[in-house]
Amino acid sequence: MECRGEAVVEKERIHLRPVTLCDAAPATLHLLPCEVLVNGPAPVGRFFTPAVRQGPDGLQVSFRGRSLRGEEAAVPPGFTGYVMVTEDRGERLKGKQDFSGSSDSDGEGDEQELVEAPESLEREFDRFIGATGSFSSFTLWGLETAPGPDAKVHGALAWPSLAEAIHAQVPED
C-alpha cells in the first residue's frame, strides 16, 4: 500500500457532481426493440414523437417501416432516473478543435464511438460525470406487439426491491 499515493487512487475514481442531480432537466426516453449502431444527435422530435398514436391496445408508432407497440414503464418507487454524461478532458478538447465548422469530422467521431464497448464507464476513470437529464418513466417499445408483463425489462425493474432484501441488515438472534 505504501507505494500507492493518493494520486494513484484518485485515478481510479469518477466523481459524480452532486449538484447536477438537482439541476437535471426532465428528459424523454424511449427504449427501442432494435439496435441503432450510432451514438449522437437524432431528430426524434421531427420523425418519431409526432408519429406516436394512442391505439386501442396501447401506443403505436413505426420506425424504419416496422410497426412498434409501446407501453409506459415507471422507474421503481424510491428511485429516480438520470441520464449521465462524462465531462470533457484534454484529449476530447483536441478533437474539438478539429471539429470547428467541419461536419466531416463529425461522422468520423460517430464511427469511433461504435468501436467502443458499451460498458465504457471504466474508460472514464479519473474524471467527472454529471446528470444531464432526469426521468421518472420511459416508453418501452416492442416489435409488432407490446412488450407485456413478461418483458425482461420488467424483471429488471423489480431488481431494486430484491436488492433491498439481499442487502438489508439481518435481524439479531
Partner 1 sequence: MATRVDCGDGARARQHVFLVPEYLKDASKKTKSGLMFVKLVNPCSGEGAIYLFNMCLHQLFEIKVFKEKHHSWFINQSVQSGGLLHFATPMDPLFLLLHYLILANKQGKFQPLDQVVVDDAFPNCVLLLKLPELEKVLHHVTEEKEIGNKKYYKYSKEKTLKWLEKKVKQTVAALKTSNVTVSARVQSSAFFSGNQVLNDKEEDYIRYAHGLISDYIPKELSDDLSKYLKLPEPSAPLPNPPSKNREAHSSLNKIMSPLQMDNTTSVPANSPLGCILNNWDAFKADSLNKSRLTFLCNMAWPQYKLESREIWPE
Q: What residues from 51 to 70 belong to the interface with partner 1 (CB under 8 A)?
A: none
CA dist 36 and 23 (Å) reads: 29
Per CB under 8 A, 160 contacts partner 1: yes
Segment near partner 1 (CB under 8 A); pick from 9-17, 50-58, 64-72: 9-17
- Nearest distance, CB of residue 168 and partner 1, angstroms: 6
Q: Are 39 and 110 in contact (CB under 8 A)?
A: yes
Q: Are 128 and 14 in contact (CB under 8 A)?
A: yes
Q: What residues from 95 to 134 belong to the interface with partner 1 (CB under 8 A)?
A: 106, 109-110, 113-114, 116-122, 125, 129-133
- Nearest distance, CB of residue 59 and partner 1, angstroms: 13
The angle that helices 104-115 and 90-99 make with each other, rounded to 10 degrees, is 150
Among 50, 53, 87, 98, binds partner 1 (CB under 8 A): 87
DSSP for residue 122: G
C-alpha dihedral (106, 107, 112, 113), degrees to nearest 10: 80
Identity of the residue, 56 or 97, whose beta carbon is nearer to partner 1 in the bound complex: 97
Per CB under 8 A, 43 contacts partner 1: yes
